[in-house]
């Protein structure tokens, strides 16, 4: 009787852990972040911040982040995932109007660059299109 109770508790613990930590594969973005950072220095940019892009196996349509950009500074947003042709970012201003996108309807670009016109909150909206990949990374860099 004790063994069956112990086995039952073990099964419940495993189910709890499975449900708590999710049924999807973990998104390890280290390799993708490193690839993004490598793109900065040759273009003359300094590292500012990295972003994890995890749509949880497609359960989330987009992954959004916000960041304050300063007027007159040139920024670059680099992207990397297993399928770089499916990952894209839309940069939105404080009114959530699109400024630039790394996808133009037919082509995906591995980075976008802008010179901020005014200081304020900007939004980075990441998504995957026509891709089986749901994990990637992005890095924000700056050049003065």
Distance CA 95, CA 142 (A): 22
pLDDT of residue 25: 61
Work out the pLDDT band at 103, boundaries 50, 70, 90: very high
* Each residue's pLDDT tens digit, 54-64: 999 889 999 99
Query: Between β-strands 74-81 and 98-101, what pairing exists: parallel, antiparallel or unpaired?
Result: unpaired
Runs of H (alpha helix) within the chain: 2-21, 30-38
In Å, how far are 6, 57, 71, 89, 91 from 76, measured between CA atoms? 55, 27, 14, 11, 11
- Average pLDDT of the segment spanning 50-54: 97
Domains, the chain, in order of start with CATH, read 24-143 (2.60.120.380)
Strand partners, 124: 65, 91
Full-model pTM: 0.80
pLDDT of residue 132: 86
Least confident of 9-13, 57-61, 110-114: 9-13
- Average pLDDT of the segment spanning 70-85: 92
Distance CA 50, CA 34 (A): 10
């Amino acid at each position: 009787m004790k063994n069956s109770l112990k086995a039952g508790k073990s099964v419940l613990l495993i189910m709890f852990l499975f449900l708590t930590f999710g049924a999807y594969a973990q998104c390890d973005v280290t390799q993708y972040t490193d690839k993004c950072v490598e793109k900065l220095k040759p273009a003359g940019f300094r590292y500012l911040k990295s972003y994890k892009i995890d749509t949880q196996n497609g359960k989330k349509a987009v992954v959004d982040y916000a960041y304050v950009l300063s007027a007159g500074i040139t920024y670059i947003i680099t992207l990397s995932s297993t399928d770089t042709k499916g990952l894209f970012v839309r940069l939105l201003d404080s009114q959530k109007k699109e400024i630039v996108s790394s996808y133009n309807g037919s082509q995906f670009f591995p980075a976008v660059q802008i010179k901020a016109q005014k200081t304020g909150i900007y939004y980075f909206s990441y998504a995957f299109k026509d891709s089986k990949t749901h994990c990637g990374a992005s890095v924000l860099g700056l050049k003065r």
